Amino acid sequence: MHEFSVTSQIVEAILKEAGKHNAKRVVAVHLDIGKLTFLGLEQVRFSYEVLVKGTILEGSKLYIEEKDGIVNCRSCGYEGGFQYEDDPIYHIPTPTLRCPNCGETVEIEGGRECTIRDMKLLISEDDKTDAD
C-alpha cells in the first residue's frame, strides 16, 4: 500500500518538526498533495489515523488540499492543465505528457508535490525550564 509508506514519512516529518518546537500536541496538519502523486486521499486519511495513534498527533485534524497537475510546453509555450486520455485497458482517464495545443511532449511543472504546508502545534506551557 503506497499511501501507507508515504503517510508514514509525513507523520515522521511532523513528529520531528513538532519535537523541535517542544510541542505538547499537534492540533492540525495541512497537506498539499498533487494529483500526479496518484495517492488515494481516503487511504492517506486512513493511514494517518492508524499511524498517529499513541503519538502527540492523535486527535489532530488533517486537511488535505489537492493540487492540479500543471504542465509546460517548450514548443508552443502552453502552460496549464494536463491532457487526459482514456486508458483502453483500465478505462480511466490518465494524464498524458502530450501538449493539448501542439502535441509535443510537455514537462511537468506541478502536481507531484506531497508536502506539509502548515501545522498547528500546542506548545507546552509548564515546560519552560532552561533545557539548553
Q: Which residues bind Zn ion (CB under 5 A)?
A: 73, 75-76, 78, 99, 101-102, 104
- Beta carbon nearer to Zn ion, 68 or 107: 107
Could you list the beta-strand ranges (E) of 7-113. 23-34, 61-67, 70-72, 79-81, 83-86, 93-96, 107-110
Q: Which is nearer to Zn ion, 95 or 113 (CB)?
A: 95
Q: In what order do the strands lie in the sheet with 114-123?
A: 61-67, 23-34, 114-123
Shortest distance in whole angstroms from residue 98 CB to Zn ion: 9
In eight-state DSSP terms, residue 125 is S
With residue 122 as reference, give the H or E element that holds it: strand 114-123
With respect to Zn ion, which residue has the nearer C-beta, 18 or 99?
Answer: 99
Least CB distance to Zn ion at residue 78 (A): 4
Minimum CB separation from Zn ion for residue 64, in Å?
31
- Report the residue number, 96 or 101, with the smaller CB distance to Zn ion: 101
Compute CA 81 distance to the chain's CA centroid, rounded to the nearest angstrom: 18
Output the smallest distance, CB 37 to Zn ion, in A. 24
